[in-house]
Structure 1
Amino acid sequence: MEMFQLRRAEDVAQAVGAAAYAEDRQGAPVRFLAGGTTLIDLMKLDVERPAMVIDIGRLPLDRIEPTPEHGVRIGAMVRNSDLAHDPLIRERYPVLSQALLSGASAQLRNMATTGGNLLQRTRCVYFRDVAMPCNKREPGSGCPAIGGYNRNLAVLGTSESCIASNPSDMNVALMALGATIEIQGPEGARTVGIDDFFVLPDDTPQRETVLEAGELITHVTLPPLPAGTRSHYLKLRDRASYEFALASAAVVVTLANGGITAARFAMGGIGTRPWRLPATEVLLAGGAPSAAVFDAAARELLREARPQSQNAFKIELARRCLVHALDTVTTAD
């Protein structure tokens, strides 16, 4: 770990102002420290080398509140364990609770935060090993995962520059729920729908989200769900505990009179970002639940998958994962 300057922010304006000053005036790379479950690990590995770390652990962003529209607003500093066990989340958005409880360990969930989880970085072994080239760390250095060890990496949204998969469970559920991200930065506040928050690698794999320098996530808002909505999270992995998804599915389906009136779903473990394809959801709306319809939607979502030398099995695994999740949520009592 390299030397760095540590500052502690007492409010959002102070955190954003300190980051903007360090980056704009001093040219110093800055990182915000919340739970530290990812950042500290990467700093120890020399993957992250910020000149300044701003501790935001005291910011008053740790509340879960209902919105006037009957949705929920979640502070960026809410711990994963608190969010997963919150009665409002368990009642209205069980898919989010299930996703959070399927990730990491209880100890890590007690530390990890909502904002930090949104920015969770890939577990690609080449990204985490500074002895190897990696376009995410050093653009233009190459991607040895292509043709190398890639069993756990992405088959959707990849490019010639990067095939790293997004590791988060929470982000898959938020994608299926249509969350909105609230951001505060040097230029003021803005909101971004989660569909537009993550960036595909293309030729700039070092950039993973739309966040600009000095911007800080402050809240995540979940929209209200109509009556008759059910949700479910299914995660397939090599072992049952403390393991990242090979394929996962978050499904949110609204049922009425035996038919599907609306559906929204996303998948994890298979994409460079939480993967959603709205065109596939249209195949479900307006019809009765059936294995054939679910299979058609899954095959369409995976139609443009580009497997690597070791992860072609993910395509069939993901198909079965999504079909099973949709069957589970539409047949549940």
Structure 2
Amino acid sequence: MTVCFDQSVQDPQLVDNKNHCNTHELVLEEGFMVPHHNVGTGGFDAPEINAFGHTFRDYDVESERQKQVEEFYRMNHIYQTYDYVKKMREEYKKLDKLEMSIWECCELLNEVVDESDPDLDEPQIEHLLQTAEAIRKDYPDEDWLHLTALIHDLGKVLLLPRFGELPQWAVVGDTHPLGCAFDDSIVHHKYFKENPDMNNPAYQTKNGIYSEGCGLENVMISWGHDDYMYLVAKENGTTLPQAGLFIIRYHSFYPLHRSGAYKHLMNEEDAENLKWLQIFNKYDLYSKSKVRVDVEKVKPYYMSLIAKYFPEKLRW
């Protein structure tokens, strides 16, 4: 991505523009270019506090909400095992629950509230549209990214009876690899001591059962809405680019894209896709607010994107 801007920047590395602009490119770590939309005025302005008045992703602040979130992660870390995830992937890859469109699934999400999220207690459809509209403003030409934002959490329908009514710990929350050591950056790491996988020596090293650079495609990640929606999109023949599928599958993998853990398991394609995920993550996290979106006003635009990248009906 090559972007010009006309501000003087002292600290990040400045690169001479090869397109003969009298400006420079802003380069962050790993050489990733930041669009001018987010430099200076007019871009996405991340708030400092969430809808509850707390800093984002603060898992320690005392509140009833935080107690609920911590109990969620206790259950998640005890019961998400390698064998459990393998079983769930095999079961849900059948996509034999029902058939419906993407938008019908969006509307179903009105029934869902994510108990693992310390920043949000609104129905999920509000968050999807807030994220998508924020990205659309700053990246108007990347329509696949707008749609990815709209659908990234649709897998949370696993909480509903017709999809198996899975417990919250099996659907939402941060994700992490199984089959190797649990990194210290994983939220509420202390509860892994009760996970049966801790008794398997093969899972207790940095690489575990994997080889360095094997690619995340070959790594077992804890089961939840991310992996389920990835399976739905892939098996129904979406034409979203690989970066979109990567975002859907790993957007809750905070130990990776927030803390830099497990990068040793990535391959080159993962590294490229991670750049898009890191862009997406800012909008996914910081667009959580009480600002409402006019659903009927934006619906025609997103319906056109759904028709472009997905079949009319999908197996779920």
TM over 0.5: no
* TM-score w.r.t. length of structure 2: 0.29
* TM-score w.r.t. length of structure 1: 0.28
Q: Which has the higher helix share?
A: 2
Per chain length, whose mean CA-contact separation is higher, i.e. which structure has more relative contact order (CA < 8 Å, sep 6+)? 2
